[in-house]
Each structure stands twice: as structure tokens, then as C-alpha cells.
Structure 1
């Protein structure tokens, strides 16, 4: 099993290193990174926003049924939503410096 894993990792390293050399020779070597950043930025905000909203609604329903709201959990959900929405913009700002 270890021999198989070593051979697979050696083959993968050889293939990816040759691809990286090919990307470095052209002017488009940065394109995969910027595409990934665009996909992360739009995807996190598009998916994360509704998930955070559903989480807040769920905590509100639980708080209404139990008679008390756990504000620490609500603040964690809001803080997570802040990270999801502001994080990609902050990453773009840091990379543009």
C-alpha cells in the first residue's frame, strides 16, 4: 500500500510540476488564482447569506418555544455572517495592495 501511495504521489508531483512550468512560461499563469478568488467571493456570499438567515430564524424559533433567547449563539451566527460577507472583500483588498 505504501509503495502504491509513493508512486501515485511521485506521478502527481511530476505531472503538476510540468503543468506549472507551462503556466509560468505564458502570461496567463495567474488566471487560475484570480478565477478561484472570484468564485470564492461570489459563492460564499451567495450561499452563506441565506444559510446565516436561516440560522437566525431557527434560533428565533427555538428562543420563542423555550421562552429564552441565547444571545451568545445569536451573536456567533451574526459574527459568522460578517466573516462570510466581509472576508472575501478583505481578501481582495489585501491582494490588491
Structure 2
């Protein structure tokens, strides 16, 4: 299986594609302590103002903080705002 992953990485590099799209992995981008964007997610599991749980190909991404809110949600991207205290992969 690692050989297949290596071929996918090389293909993504050659085609100038984002590796998370080809490798079926989530990408988490954090801007300061006020914004988190998760690309290639698999849907919301839980949403409160203190905890957001999101399914991903690698497991559940847990964002904790205060005053959390969803800025936007699409079929493959989620942007959260609020005071981000932590991010964990379970």
C-alpha cells in the first residue's frame, strides 16, 4: 500500500494538484487563534459554541474554544470562527 501512496504523491506533484485531494486526506489551516478552515471533511458530528467535531478520512477532528461559530460550510470545506483553544485528531 505505501507504493500506491507514493505514486499518488508523485502524480499530485506532477499535475500540480493539492496532495490532500489526491491522497484523500483532510487539510486543516489555522489563522491565529480566531479562524480554522478544514478542507476535504466528511461532515459535522457535533457543533456547540465550545466544541466542533468533524469527520475526516483520518478520524475525527475536534476543535475546542469559546464562541465558536460556522462562517461557512460546503460539501468539502468548513470554516470556523471564534476563540480557538485547541485542535485534536481522534
Higher normalized strand content (fraction of residues): 2
Higher normalized helix content (fraction of residues): 1
Query: Taking CA–CA contacts closer than 8 Å with sequence separation of 6 or more, which of the two structures ends up with the larger relative contact order?
Result: 1
Give the TM-score normalised by structure 2.
0.30
Structure ID, larger Rg: 1
